[in-house]
Structure 1
Amino acid sequence: MKIVPLYDAPHFAEQVIDWLWQAFGDSLPREFFASIIEHSQTPGQLPLTFVLVDDEQLLGTVGLWRCDLISRQDLFPWLAALYVKESARGQGLAGQLQDHVKVQAKAMGFEQLHLYSACRDFYERFGWHYIGDALDYPNTTVHVYRIAL
């Protein structure tokens, strides 16, 4: 198993777009997620998308983004769009993807990382600290987390 930047495995881009759209799309068009992926392909610059692959099988994805929550643009950068294929869940892959983004963010000179989620009790077990609630557009309360790098 390995985690690589999507720009090193561009043949997975369409599947990543579909996963993000299905998991996080709600009322957003697929083209919105295609744009995110298209613009997260420059080495050393945010945003970045990473993929977890095992023997050329795509198992998961995660992003390192400038901003993931429009109501909290004061926070920077963000671990975003964490997704593990349903059949691969429960194997610790979400933790591996998080760890990879932490290492990448630290290597880029960041001292902390943020994320938001609608659920509680998942990210806390990976060391994330709840810092409060915020609004996701247009009117959904979400939980905001921070972790020191």
Structure 2
Amino acid sequence: MSPQLAWLADHLHHSDRYAEWIHSQFSYEYAQQPLADWQREFAAGQSNGDWPCLVALDDEQLIGGAALARADLALRPELGPWLACVFVSPDARGQGLAERLIEGVCQEAKDRGWPRLYLHTQTQRDYYAKRGWQVLENFQAWGNEQWLMVRDL
């Protein structure tokens, strides 16, 4: 049976764990924010519209997710909404799960009437480019080159 996709707001008991994965995976972005603070912000974001997250559950076990963020890049506050917090646990990779999650977030954004989504990535530019995302610009942040990308919905 393939993993089920659901909104984290309906499975909030997984929120702290997912926030922990993101805090660890993208530690360069969260260097100034203690984990507990991020966990509180992320959990609140499931109901206030800041970080609604689509998660993948395999028999109620959390194995991945992706968020539809209101804002995700302080350098570009005029842009949004964003695809953010994309993560699949290592033992669940290679099954197209990230792509399902990304498409689910894109569909939700489209259903809400948004014409495009943005993302920024440090290492996955080619992955997203193969899936219809276009590079808007590259920039320096968190001590590395980053890519700002957009996808029309």
Same-fold call, TM cutoff 0.5: yes
Alpha-carbon distance in structure 2 between the residues aligned to 1:67 and 1:2: 26
Amino acid across the alignment from 1:91: Q
Distance in 1, Cα, partners of 2:76 & 2:144: 13
**Which residue number corresponds to residue 78 of structure 2?**
74
TM-score (structure 2 length as normaliser): 0.88
The aligned amino acid for 1:41 is Q
The answer on 1:36 being equivalent to 2:38 is no
Match of 2:4 in 1: 2
Gaps of 5+ in 1: none
Percent identity, aligned pairs only, is 31
Partner of residue 13, structure 1: 15
Give the corresponding residue for 1:148.
152
Q: Give the C-alpha shift of residue 22 in structure 1.
A: 1.0
How many residue pairs end up in the alignment? 147
Q: Distance between the aligned counterparts of 1:146 and 1:114, measured in 2?
A: 4
Alignment-mate amino acid for residue 74 of structure 2? I
> What amino acid sits opposite 1:14 in the alignment?
D
5+ residue gaps, structure 2: none
Q: Is the CA contact (8 Å cut-off) linking 2:12 and 2:43 kept in structure 1?
A: no
Query: Per-residue displacement from partner, 1:83-139 (whole Å, max 9, x unpaired)?
Result: 000111111011001000001101111000000000131111111111111343x55
Which residue of 1 is the match for residue 52 of structure 2?
A: 48
Check conservation: 1:71, 1:135, Cα contact below 8 A: no
What's the CA shift string for 1:42-82, capped at 9, x where partnerless? 27x34311211121121101111111111111211000010
Secondary structure of 2:17's partner? helix
Q: TM-score scaled by structure 1? A: 0.90
Question: Aligned-residue CA RMSD in angstroms?
Answer: 1.6
Superposed structure 1 runs of 4+ greater than 6 Å apart: none
